Amino acid sequence: MARRNEEVEAVLQEYADLIAITRGDAFKARAYEKAARAVGGYAQDVSRLTPEELRGIPGVGKSIAEKVAEYLRTGSVEVVEERRAMIPAGVRELITIPTLGPKKAMTLYEDLHISSVEELANAIESERLRGLKGFGPKTEENILHGIALLQQAGDRIDVHTAMTVAEEVVAGLSSIRGCESCTFAGSLRRMRETIGDIDVLVAARDSAKFMTALTELPATAEVIAHGEKKTSIRTTKGLQVDLRVLPPDSWGAGLQYFTGSKAHNIRTRTMAVRAGLKLSEYGLFEVPEKPKKGAKAPKEEGRLVASRTEDEVYDRLGLPWIPPALREDRGEIEAALGDGLPDVITEHDIRGDLHTHTSLTDGLAPLAEMAEAAAARGYAYYAVTDHAPDLYMEQMTDAKALAQREEVRRLDGTFHRMRLLHGTELNIGPDGEVDWPADFLAGFDLCVASVHSHFGLSRSAMTKRFIRACENPYVNVIGHPTTRMIGRRPGVDADWDEVFAACARTGTALEVNAQPDRLDLRDEDILRAKQLGAKFVIDTDAHSVPHLAFLRYGVGTAQRGWLTKDDVVNTWPLTKLRRFLRAKRP
């Protein structure tokens, strides 16, 4: 059963937005926003907590705990419903636009009576926003970018939300007697960053009970179609799940077919045709000889030559098994035919996480709790990298950093002999400078440097900004390099080939940030950076214990970028990693 934390988080965040839209108490809005983050990242399922235990979550006081309990009990919160009623639905639609905040949305409604995304786009086109306080040309440009992002996202959802639903469905169907295999396929198996719908496959001799079971799962809100070969439902989170039940003997062929991608499948089917075969979800078949003129065509396909496993199907086509994340027709067929298919990285290869946060800044758990959870994952080493002082809202100081360093040294080796590293996440300023001076940075085991502000610099200025950070002898990693937030904020504009080349030249690793709303670098950037000789690190940027499990999404993205463990520095033994971290230093 999935945790309900994210559901409650969404309600609290909506209430914070509604307070802001109605120009309520800004302090109260921030309190609910902070509580939303805390609930979303809390290790335990909040639906299993008593009201008193809810108050043990950071930022959740008596009033917020009561609202959480009310929602868990009734499915709604009275004060949230009241605030919703105060605001036109169109205004709530406007705040879904990335870069458009609640206050600006309300201003647009009150001053120009704009209450839909379409009306806003038309108003910008006809220059109706000109002269409106707080809405200059740059704001208009940002809003149009946000509208484009919203339209591009469409009905697609992030990989983590999809994975949570898919695994819940797979668990429910796998427990039914007669299920020989069950898994998800499609773009989720290929680890795409966003998912349109979820494909689930079952191998069984009788399909009826599985089709019925899907319609009766707790997550099912609506039955779209119920048939013998395919059943589709919509979940309580609005996701479509399509179930197909395959004969066990066809499992491998079906898994290959429904995993896709479409372009990859066209290539494999073309290879089959050239070999005198036909590839379908039921298997790889010999093509019967054409009947003589006037004779009837055979009713059945030719002899089955491969179907039980994906390995069999690929082998019969003259190919090795191709990892799902590579199946995008981006050269994987040619690489497989030429012995150049990469041995892509796996989650098992990762020896440690090098970008994480604690409650000292904006994390939710103390250092010892985060370290213990990391050790339970089997890591050999683990770095804490709380924010540096230029991100002023986190209130970091030299004294706090030094006190944390003492704690790191004291706890080093305490948890299953896992080694602890003391790091920091620096802020790359507009000119490429970072927070602390060189003599202070020299005391850290590693430094991640990231852009957190001034996203609108010119392409030239942004490129110089990154290159200067790379050239800093104490910067080891560029964190979430493009700064994008999927569906909410586009990446910054830079000459990325120049930046990637600078990383390769200076020995600065590029981060593959595993947070599902970042996945930054994205797969296309990884492919380019690898060609230019850069090294990488796959980090979770965890702000709570549950975030440590996001590693799987970073690994999936790295696989899509064709990375091997040799490309990724946190697959290396600690001694080799330390040499890499110290190589730049004077």
3-state helix, strand, coil in the chain (%, to 5): 45, 15, 40
| pTM of the entire predicted model | 0.84
Among 125-129, 315-319, 346-350, 579-583, whose mean pLDDT is lowest? Answer: 125-129
Question: Roughly what angle, to the nearest 10 degrees, separates helices 26-40 and 62-74?
Answer: 60
pLDDT the model gives residue 528: 95
Q: What is the pLDDT of residues 528-548, one digit of tens each?
A: 999 999 999 999 999 999 999
Taking the alpha carbons at both ends of the chain, their separation in whole angstroms is: 53
Q: Is 380 a residue whose pLDDT tops 90?
A: yes
How is residue 97 annotated by DSSP? S
pLDDT the model gives residue 148: 74
pLDDT the model gives residue 189: 97
pLDDT the model gives residue 156: 79
- Which residue's entry shows tokens 């009766």? 216
Q: What is the pLDDT of residues 127-154, one digit of tens each?
A: 888 778 778 787 887 788 777 766 665 5
Tell me the torsion sign for CA atoms 560, 564, 565, 566: negative
How many distinct helices (H) and strands (E) make up the chain? 24, 17
Strand pairing report for 198-203 and 181-184: antiparallel
Q: Is 292 a residue whose pLDDT tops 70?
A: no
Please compute the mean of the pLDDT values over residues 214-238 and round it to a whole number.
88
Q: What is the pLDDT of residues 385-441, one digit of tens each?
A: 999 998 877 789 999 999 999 999 999 999 999 999 999 999 999 999 999 999 999
Both tokens of 328, joined, read 């995008």
Q: How far apart are CA 393 and CA 568, in angstroms?
A: 32
Please compute the mean of the pLDDT values over residues 495-506 and round it to a whole number.
97
- Domains defined along the chain, listed by start: 5-153 (1.10.150.110), 157-246 (3.30.460.10), 252-337 (3.30.210.10), 347-582 (3.20.20.140)
pLDDT the model gives residue 400: 96
Are residues 538 and 448 in contact, defined by beta-carbon separation less than 8 angstroms?
Answer: no
- Residue 424, beta-bridge partner list: 386, 447
**% of the chain surpassing 70 pLDDT:** 95
Backbone angles phi, psi at 344, to 5 degrees: -65, 155
- Residue 244, beta-bridge partner list: 201, 230
Q: 53 Cβ partners below 8 Å, 6+ apart?
A: none
Q: How far apart are CA 79 and CA 85, in angstroms?
A: 10
Strand pairing report for 352-353 and 157-158: unpaired
Q: Which residue has the higher pLDDT, 92 or 195?
A: 195
Q: Which residue has the higher pLDDT, 415 or 118?
A: 415
The mean of the pLDDT values for the chain is 90
Q: Where residue 445 falls among pLDDT bands split at 50, 70, 90? A: very high
Q: Where residue 1 falls among pLDDT bands split at 50, 70, 90? A: very low
Q: Is 497 a residue whose pLDDT tops 60?
A: yes
